[in-house]
């Protein structure tokens, strides 16, 4: 996964060499960049580290010519990303997925895999 990532941003707590923040981008460097896996260690949440990761990506020189930065997030994170200039007003676009990983289709496990595949 990391080898195929176009841009990787990490934050390491130097005294302990602990990875505390991580984000990655897949892009064509012209039209579209998709931000994936913005992850902050639970004990670092609320410290501004998530904002630093997103701001680093948004302001990254390699992405300066990209027309559209996009991401997918949980509803609870919409206000966070909105503060960074992202909007959920994306016209008629809909997220669609094809996966063999049934947990991605039903994260709460409320439907059987047979019902999910129908």
DSSP 8-state code for residue 30: S
Write the CB contacts of 111 (distance below 8 Å, at least 6 apart in sequence): none
Q: Could you tell me the pTM of the whole model?
A: 0.81
CATH number, domain of 43, equals 3.40.630.30
- Which has the closest alpha carbon to 33: 60, 86, 62, 69? 69
Strand, helix or coil for residue 38: strand
19-50 per-position pLDDT tens digit = 999 999 999 999 999 999 999 999 999 999 99
Residue 83 lies in a domain: yes
Q: How many domains does the chain have?
A: 1
Q: Tell which residue, 59, 6, 66, has the closest CA to residue 31.
A: 66
Residue 26, phi then psi, degrees to nearest 5? -115, 130
Residue 69 lies in a domain: yes
* pLDDT, tens digit, 9 for 90 and up, residues 70-110: 999 999 999 999 999 999 998 888 888 888 888 777 766 66
């Amino acid at each position: 996964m990391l080898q195929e990532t176009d841009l990787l941003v990490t934050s390491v707590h130097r005294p302990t060499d602990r990875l505390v923040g991580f984000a990655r981008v897949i892009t064509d460097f012209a039209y579209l960049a998709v931000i994936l896996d913005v992850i902050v260690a639970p004990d670092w949440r609320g410290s501004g580290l998530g904002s630093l990761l997103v701001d680093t990506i948004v302001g990254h020189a390699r992405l300066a010519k990209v027309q559209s930065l996009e991401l997918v997030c949980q509803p609870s994170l919409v206000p966070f990303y909105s503060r960074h200039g992202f909007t959920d007003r994306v016209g008629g676009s809909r997220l669609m997925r094809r996966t063999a990983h049934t947990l991605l289709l039903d994260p709460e496990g409320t439907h059987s895999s047979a019902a999910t595949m129908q």
